[in-house]
Amino acid sequence: MCLGIPGQIIQVTDTARKLGIVEIGGVRRTINLACIVDQDHAIGTCVGAWVLVHVGFAMNRIDPQEAQRTLDLLREMGDLQKEIASIEPTDTKTSEGTGEIR
């Protein structure tokens, strides 16, 4: 119940009640859009936006630029880590943290 899942708004179905169809992992469902609609974000402009869905309510828009920035930062961290690993003498390396993420 607490898990939020990303979904994309496909269609606005009820402007007055602020309802729309959101596709979440291939499943389409009517979702309440009240929390992501205001003066700056009219309901008509929602279609195509990615939102985080919790218990049938879109709780926030997902910012594609911030998502990209985080991914870029993660990649940079990875590159940096490769540098550090190449500088460090191998005998001080521990066996921790080298397992595989499943």
Binding site for other proteins (CB under 8 A): 1-4, 6, 8, 17, 25, 30, 32, 34-38, 50, 52, 54-57, 59-60, 62-64, 66-67, 69-71, 73-75, 77-78, 80-82, 84-85, 88, 92, 94, 96-102
In angstroms, what is the minimal distance from the CB of 43 to other proteins? 12
Reading phi first (left if > 0) and then psi (alpha if -120 to 50, else beta), residue 56 is in left
Judged by DSSP in three states, 79 sits in helix
Return the number of the residue (25 or 44) whose C-beta is nearest other proteins.
25
In angstroms, what is the minimal distance from the CB of 19 to other proteins? 9
Tokens of 10: 């496909």
Return the number of the residue (15 or 60) whose C-beta is nearest other proteins.
60
In angstroms, what is the minimal distance from the CB of 31 to other proteins? 8
Nearest to 44 by CA among 55, 33, 53, 52: 33
Between CA 70 and CA 84 the distance in angstroms is 21
In angstroms, what is the minimal distance from the CB of 95 to other proteins? 10
- The residue with tokens 């926030």 is 60
Judged by DSSP in three states, 92 sits in helix
